[in-house]
């Protein structure tokens, strides 16, 4: 039995923080796991910026409400789900993801959660578990699934390396260069061909 574990941002939906940066004009919020491999460093940086500018959770969710899946993402998910089980494995937060999951037809999502203080500001973040993407793959393998994993960023690499099949989807040049052993798909049509081969 096979199962697909896929990243969310950059694979199925745009990068949330880049959209927040564009709407607020705060350039420093454009940094993602494509740029900074250490997720804790990245999140502490983000929370410090939000605090400095007085931005609250609602400021971010208002931006997310305007976002849509990447062009072709919903068709891709609708193509894939009848063929095999799909789990979205993301370092995003439940408080951010809900409107995007609705637009993707409510696929299964495993992610993290935030602490919100009385003023509505983000007080902290809580990882479901450290290196959670890799642990999801290992858990599926312990259930005797053959795992196909897709991702685009540094925080996806341990998931891709642990899965029986790891695929980079539209990765930036630096990640493609650092991890040349992973096959690369630059479009949903290419990933469909690769998945068709692996699922057959």
In the annotation, is 9 catalytic?
A: yes
**3-state SS, residue 112:** strand
Token readout for 18 is 């880049």
Instruction: Locate 166 and state its tokens.
Output: 């790891």
Element (DSSP H or E) covering residue 148: strand 146-151
The answer to whether 7 is a known catalytic residue is: yes
Of the residues 9, 95, 152, 156, only one is catalytic, namely 9
Catalytic residue among 7, 95, 152, 156: 7
- CA dist., res. 23 & res. 100, Å (int): 17
Q: How far apart are CA 108 and CA 28, in angstroms?
A: 31
Active site residues: 7, 9
């Amino acid at each position: 039995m096979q199962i697909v574990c896929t990243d969310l941002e950059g694979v199925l939906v745009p990068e949330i923080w880049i959209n927040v940066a564009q709407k607020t004009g705060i350039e420093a919020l454009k940094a993602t796991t494509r740029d900074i491999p250490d997720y804790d460093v990245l999140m502490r940086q983000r929370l410090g910026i939000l605090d400095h500018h007085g931005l609250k959770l609602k400021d971010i969710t208002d931006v997310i409400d305007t976002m849509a899946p990447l062009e072709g993402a919903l068709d891709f998910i609708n193509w894939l789900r009848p063929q095999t089980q799909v789990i979205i494995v993301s370092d995003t937060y439940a408080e951010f993801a809900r409107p995007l999951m609705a637009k993707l037809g409510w696929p299964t999502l495993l992610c993290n959660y935030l602490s919100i203080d009385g003023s509505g500001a983000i007080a902290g973040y809580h990882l479901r578990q450290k290196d959670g993407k890799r642990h999801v793959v290992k858990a599926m393998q312990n259930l005797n699934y053959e795992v196909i994993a897709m991702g685009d960023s540094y925080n996806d690499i341990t998931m891709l390396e642990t899965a029986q099949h790891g695929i980079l989807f539209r990765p930036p040049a630096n990640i493609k260069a650092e991890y040349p052993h992973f096959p690369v798909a630059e479009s949903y049509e290419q990933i469909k061909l690769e998945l068709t081969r692996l699922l057959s």
